[in-house]
Structure 1
Amino acid sequence: MTESAYLPEGVERQPLKTFTEKAYLDYSMYVILDRALPHVGDGLKPVQRRLVYAMSELGLSALSKHKKSARTVGDVLGKYHPHGDAACYEAMVLLAQPFSSRYPFVDGQGNWGSPDDPKSFAAMRYTEARLSPYAQLLLSELGQGTADWVPNFDGTLEEPKVLPARLPNVLLNGGSGIAVVMATDIPPHNLKEVAAACLHLLAHPDADADALCAHMPGPDFPTEAEIITPREELLALYRSGQGSLRMRARFEHENGDLIITALPFQVSGAKVLEQIAAQIQAKKLPMVEDLRDESDHEHPTRLVITPRNSRVDRESLMAHLFATTDLERSYRVNLNVIGLDGRPQVKSLPELLSEWLRFRIETVRRRLQWRLDKVERRLHILEGLLVAYLNIDEVIRIIREYDEPGPELMRRFGLTEAQAEAILELKLRHLARLEEMKIRGEQDELQQERDHLQATLGSEKRLRDLVGEEIRADAERFGDPRRSPIVARAAAQALDESALVPSEPLTVVLSRMGWVRAAKGHEVDAPGLNYKSGDAYQSAAPGRSNQPAVFLDSTGRSYTLPAHSLPSARGQGEPLSGRLSPPDGARFIGVMMGAGEDRYVLATDHGHGFIVRLEDMITRNRAGKAVLTVPAGAQVLHPLRIHDLERQYLAAASSAGHLLLLPLSELPQMARGKGNKILHIPTDRLKSGEETLAALALVDADAPLTVVAGKKTKTMKPEEWRDYLGERGRRGQRLPRGYQKVDRLHAD
């Protein structure tokens, strides 16, 4: 027996690969077509369409009383949408929230959420709802042969496949959804502008996106925040159907405060306040003194930011907040809809509107044909009734004498079954002479209407004109001014970190073992601070808290850290190796601070050096930046800060007691490299290590120079050290006996 013989009857056997592939594809198509994407015709997802239809069936028109939302949700779940009640109610809430839908379909009563917390709506047993007047744009033609009807999930009822929308709701309210491997993000638009674009496309079927955007320049959200995307980017978005746009909050000045009056779409004011408060708490917004929310019923959005003083640049402050909070937000746009062919596709604006107009023209054609059929049926009945009135005695006789008068009336007067049935259903009161006149009058009216309907249906131009007139009338009735102004603005830039930190004097202290700390003020006895056992003072640099601290290591690499982020000098600091990544074996030589244009002398003990600007040594790289080229066996000397390039001299002393002073102008200014020879040292003595460049110092033209050799010091007045002046790269002159083993040089 074959293996299949053991299977129960009706059970099919197939490979797992085939089964899973088919199951996943079926699920994917269900999610795409019956859950996540809107239809181009009415712009609704299935759950939204079923909600609107169920409410209309419950009689919840704009003129009716509100009914409990649970009643509507129950009807939708029980009749059309067998899914979770929470998801269905949330979809209903989104149709009712004026800050979520540009043109809400549901008129809600009760707590339907707030812009600060859209999900704070009450449970459906507490809220009440009815349809809004705008919903008539979807429902007014529903019973006029304009919709295809399909069975509901259990086959007991029918529901419309697509509602006969009178305007392109797919653009008016927009929508978003995530399906399998595809998504849709359609922003809302202004009704009058979209209607104008449709009218232009009706008159010019070949119009491109640029021509349509002359009437519909961009999206229009329920909020009054600005759309700051440049026009070219908006045009590109509508040409391709994909792109992004940015919205920015609106603000105004009031008594020195900054008042935020409108937030971007779906941005919570409470969240924005949290974001700003977090920056204030982290001391990243020192220029803000106070922050409060003064929103109320009269002012739905009123966030107040109080700057610290009048010197704060308010425009720069707001630009920083735009760049670092949700006061400016980007929105993805993906015009992905289910087309008239039942397939999802990303469409450009001309494609989208053209397809909707085809849908609308066909809907109007079906409505007119339905009305024409109804008029012709009525005319047919009226013809039969007129025959009866003209032969009233004979008709009465047949009805009295025959058991089945219908067939006899049909035979005697040449009537159809429908006409005979209408005659038999006449009431005696309608046999008066006056009724004949009414019939003739109704007949004339219906004949005129039939001629008009036939003429419209027979002419494509008249049909398109009718569609245009209806669009124009609906736009006049439901349209409103644009809410979101389109203003081209430059992208916001966050303030540099140094601009956000208060400028306070401090001194950065570096130890020999590479520990760093920052002491407040400039009057700091850095060598006298407490150091770890085995450690000692290495270098110190005065500066401001909003300036970077630049460190130089023994390999000639520079590193940068924000000075305000360094630990306090009340402790022993922290090791630089924890925040930086110097090469193995490298040690830190010195620290530098100042403005970016400040200059420093960098040199090695092999006698070469150059002048470099501080900004050329700044880097964000943890591994540092190569600045000074260090020859093999050479040591990096402590960097020297230049205060006056024109008046200062560079004093260089070798370990053999040779001293040379030269103008700073003779040193090259470079961003990186080895530099030029400062003091000449014989090559053989340099290689053997007998002599190196022992000390460097900067001395003003009228200041004394002190030479320290062991325990001896010699202070030379300007007229004395001028004897050691020479050209760069010279040997220099020997110092007096006893001062030839130079430890350091310094100028008072």
Structure 2
Amino acid sequence: MSENIVIGDDGVEQIPLKTYTEKAYLDYSMYVILDRALPSIADGLKPVQRRIVYAMSELGLKATAKYKKSARTVGDVIGKFHPHGDSAVYEAMVLMSQDFSYRYPLIDGQGNWGSPDDPKSFAAMRYTESRLTKYSEVLLSELGQGTVDWVPNFDGAIDEPATLPARVPNILLNGTTGIAVGMATDIPPHNLREVVSACIHLLDEPKASVADLCMHIKGPDFPTDAEIITPQDELHKIYEQGRGSLKMRAIWHSEGDDIVISALPHQTSGSKVLEQIAQQMQAKKLPMVIDLRDESDHENPTRLVIVPRSNRIDKEAVMNHLFATTDLEKSYRVNMNMIGIDGRPQVKSLDKILGEWLTFRESTTRRRLEYRLDKVLARLHILDGLLIAFLNIDEVIAIIREEDKPKPVLMERFGLSDTQAEAVLELKLRHLARLEEMKIRGEQEELAAERDNLEQTLGSPRRMKSLLRKELLAAAEEFGDERRSPLVARTEARAFAEDELVSAEPVTVVLSEMGWIRAAKGHDIAPTSLSYKSGDRFMLAAKGRSNQLVTILDSTGRSYSVTAHTLPSARGQGEPLTGRINPPSGVGFRGMMMGAGDTLYLLASNAGYGFFAKLDDLNSKNRAGKTALTLPKGASVMQPVPAGDLQDCFVAAVTNEGRMLVFPAEDLPVMARGKGNKMIGIPGARAASGEETMVGMALMREGDTLKVLSGKRHLSMKMSELDHYKGERGRRGHKLPRGFQKVDGLEIKAD
């Protein structure tokens, strides 16, 4: 007796609560794992599924029988084999009948058994009728031939099979899902012909690797025409490790301007997909779609129609977005956890699954042959006795008529066994005809030939292997079909970025001196003509597209970004920019930029340092912005200048003292951030004191005209007239003509 168990004075066992609960939980866990949630590698069924199929076979509900009410089957299952809730048993039964859930259904249902749109919309069991499918024969046909072990049912009244003698690896064909205690299983379905081909290869090459088997089993095969887009190397890894994940993608095609979806991933609801798309349309996240229709019917079980806004919409891009954001593309977990032939749960690789199942199949076949051999030998033994009786029929009849106990006399006179003597005594008079002897000899010859064949097969591994191969091929011929889920290599789906969802309309963004920002449609807007708040006026403007970011540069050299399409209309007076960004207090704004991400802008400080920067590097998702231009002590930010191709482009820089330098734009670096390189030389002391600063910079090409502004005066020069001012970057530059010693800035006029 355990030291933890104490017998009380009243004779009652007393067990510590910790010991009791630990044992109770372990017992429950093992029950759930072994007798409820995980399938057996032998027949691929969980206990409830096995009991349903067996109970239906006992009720005579074969594929050729008439349908019977499902309630009759459920009653038999819970009354004889599975003492659980009727709804749980019926749901398991429904799942095995749905051709969109099971690759090879085991039950043929009549009535409402659910739909792909709503698998749980099936009618109550009192309304539906059912019988077994033809495919169920591969699980049941050898059941009464001594092939499997039998165990008592829950109350010991009758026996039930521990497993069914499956002729094919149903564990892979229909797959299963289940959650036990501390473990789960997710086995995808496969194609019968491919699995049989792999089994035959493993019979011929017992040491075949997973890679060899994957030449036959390309991947899972779901009961849907949707594509499996997981790469082959990842599928091989799943089969090697027994776990992983795979992806399925809907199939679509164009019909005129419409997008038609004709196949959905496994267990995907068409109505839910339409709902997901409609939600995006309502949230204005899918402006390129204007209508949705569900045209599914009996002839076209899946036909979802998406109507684009115009024929210029990129349908591939729209579907890529929907694959990334809806159930038109789904991931499925693979966890090939099952109860092996040793009775233990384990996650198994493909070669182990098929290897163990073939071991089970060989054992089952051997037991079937041995069972048949015993029957043949017993019948031959009886026929030997009957033949002796026929050859001595008169004497046998005399003994039977004259003796009170003829059996021992017959046994002694003719050397018969008890069984043979009993068979002789059981003979009917009609069997005493002369032709009966010929029938016995004919049956003897047939059974003798069958006995020899059985004994040879049982004694020869080669003949046994040939028999297994023949039976597998016969099952594949009878129940096999073409692959349904094509294996296709696809690029990864990508959802639309926010700027891609916005129409690319031309806009002009305007910023006032008091920091109010707004966006006007078009590029022909005169910002100064807009209405401003009292005391406020125009400061900066930038032209671009509504799907682009607006990048603002403040007086400290920090850059900020706001989305153009979210800005208020220019019909009003806008809104404070500080409501969208958080610049340091007291700073002003010096520049505003728009364009594609690779657009270059010339950034510079009035100390004469600058560089080119891409807008992508200046854009900031942070409301606090990021440092773009580092300012020397005492310097300030100059307004950025947009730049195109730097080849054959020149930078003109001018100081307030009337010195100008022109140098190739390619001499300035392209940087993400920093102080930049010296553009025009300003003595350090003069720069630090602010006595001399760079007041203007411009980019010009051949044919452009440079205008130098000084008070009311201006000086215009063509590129050919600037040779005197050209020099190396960072030089001091040359003095402008008399009257332009105090320069206000530069302007460029394109030819």
Q: TM-score, normalised by structure 2?
A: 0.89
Counting only pairs closer than 5 Å after superposition, residues 465-544 of structure 1 correspond to structure 2 as 465-511=466-512, 516-526=517-527, 538-544=539-545
SS in structure 2 at match of 1:118: coil
Whether contact under 8 Å (1:228, 1:246) holds in the other structure is: yes
**Structure 1's 218 and 738: CA in aligned 2 closer, same or farther, altered over 3 A?**
closer
1:427 is matched with 428
CA distances 1:612-671 after superposition (whole Å, capped 9, x unpaired): 2323323555554442223355433332223686567545454xx656464562761322
2:300 is matched with 299
Counting only pairs closer than 5 Å after superposition, residues 90-105 of structure 1 correspond to structure 2 as 90-105=91-106
**Structure 1's 580 and 190: CA in aligned 2 closer, same or farther, altered over 3 A?**
farther
2:669 is matched with 669
Task: Provide the aligned length of Structure 1 versus Structure 2.
Answer: 739
One-letter amino acid matched to 1:47: V
2:12 is matched with 10
2:28 is matched with 27
**Structure 1's 574 and 422: CA in aligned 2 closer, same or farther, altered over 3 A?**
farther
2:47 is matched with 46
SS in structure 2 at match of 1:258: strand
One-letter amino acid matched to 2:193: K
**Structure 1's 128 and 723: CA in aligned 2 closer, same or farther, altered over 3 A?**
same
1:639 is matched with 640
Whether contact under 8 Å (2:192, 2:476) holds in the other structure is: yes
Q: Distance in 2 between matches of 1:255 and 1:495?
A: 24
- Name which of structure 1's ranges 295-304 and 23-32 shifts more when overlaid on structure 2: 23-32
Q: Distance in 2 between matches of 1:307 and 1:62?
A: 48
CA shift, 1:432, in A, is 3.0
CA shift, 1:356, in A, is 0.7
1:702 is matched with 705
Q: Distance in 2 between matches of 1:424 and 1:575?
A: 113
Q: Distance in 2 between matches of 1:80 and 1:589?
A: 83
SS in structure 1 at match of 2:136: helix
Structure 2: which 5+ residue stretches go unaligned?
A: none
**Structure 1's 520 and 470: CA in aligned 2 closer, same or farther, altered over 3 A?**
same
Whether contact under 8 Å (1:340, 1:355) holds in the other structure is: yes
One-letter amino acid matched to 1:168: P
Q: Distance in 2 between matches of 1:616 and 1:384?
A: 101
Q: Distance in 1 between matches of 2:259 and 2:406?
A: 88
SS in structure 2 at match of 1:265: coil
2:138 is matched with 137
1:124 is matched with 125
Whether contact under 8 Å (1:659, 1:724) holds in the other structure is: no
One-letter amino acid matched to 1:676: N
1:359 is matched with 360
Q: Distance in 2 between matches of 1:588 and 1:125?
A: 76
1:78 is matched with 79
One-letter amino acid matched to 2:340: G
One-letter amino acid matched to 2:670: M
CA shift, 1:135, in A, is 0.4
One-letter amino acid matched to 1:702: T
CA shift, 1:251, in A, is 2.5
**Structure 1's 723 and 139: CA in aligned 2 closer, same or farther, altered over 3 A?**
closer
**Structure 1's 48 and 694: CA in aligned 2 closer, same or farther, altered over 3 A?**
same
Whether contact under 8 Å (1:226, 1:487) holds in the other structure is: yes
Counting only pairs closer than 5 Å after superposition, residues 202-351 of structure 1 correspond to structure 2 as 202-351=203-352
One-letter amino acid matched to 2:123: A
- Name which of structure 1's ranges 667-676 and 565-574 shifts more when overlaid on structure 2: 565-574
Q: Distance in 2 between matches of 1:673 and 1:529?
A: 36
CA shift, 1:737, in A, is 9.1
**Structure 1's 169 and 578: CA in aligned 2 closer, same or farther, altered over 3 A?**
farther
**Structure 1's 737 and 52: CA in aligned 2 closer, same or farther, altered over 3 A?**
same
SS in structure 2 at match of 1:270: helix
One-letter amino acid matched to 1:442: E
Whether contact under 8 Å (1:679, 1:732) holds in the other structure is: no
Whether contact under 8 Å (2:649, 2:699) holds in the other structure is: no
1:464 is matched with 465
Whether contact under 8 Å (1:661, 1:724) holds in the other structure is: no
- Name which of structure 1's ranges 448-457 and 614-623 shifts more when overlaid on structure 2: 614-623
CA shift, 1:25, in A, is 3.0
One-letter amino acid matched to 2:541: A
Q: Distance in 2 between matches of 1:185 and 1:581?
A: 50
**Structure 1's 109 and 7: CA in aligned 2 closer, same or farther, altered over 3 A?**
farther
Structure 1: which 5+ residue stretches go unaligned?
A: none
1:87 is matched with 88
- Name which of structure 1's ranges 284-293 and 118-127 shifts more when overlaid on structure 2: 284-293
**Structure 1's 119 and 551: CA in aligned 2 closer, same or farther, altered over 3 A?**
farther
Q: Distance in 2 between matches of 1:187 and 1:445?
A: 45
SS in structure 1 at match of 2:619: coil
1:441 is matched with 442
CA shift, 1:93, in A, is 1.5
CA distances 1:522-561 after superposition (whole Å, capped 9, x unpaired): 3445466566789765533111112222232444333334
One-letter amino acid matched to 1:74: G
Whether contact under 8 Å (1:667, 1:676) holds in the other structure is: no
One-letter amino acid matched to 2:15: R
2:187 is matched with 186
Q: Distance in 2 between matches of 1:417 and 1:531?
A: 120
CA distances 1:415-472 after superposition (whole Å, capped 9, x unpaired): 3333333333333333333333322322222222112111111111111111111111
CA distances 1:17-69 after superposition (whole Å, capped 9, x unpaired): x4444333333322222222211111111121111111111211101111222
**Structure 1's 42 and 747: CA in aligned 2 closer, same or farther, altered over 3 A?**
same
Q: Distance in 2 between matches of 1:9 and 1:181?
A: 37
Q: Distance in 1 between matches of 2:61 and 2:95?
A: 18
Q: Distance in 1 between matches of 2:583 and 2:101?
A: 53
SS in structure 2 at match of 1:206: coil
Q: Distance in 2 between matches of 1:614 and 1:28?
A: 60
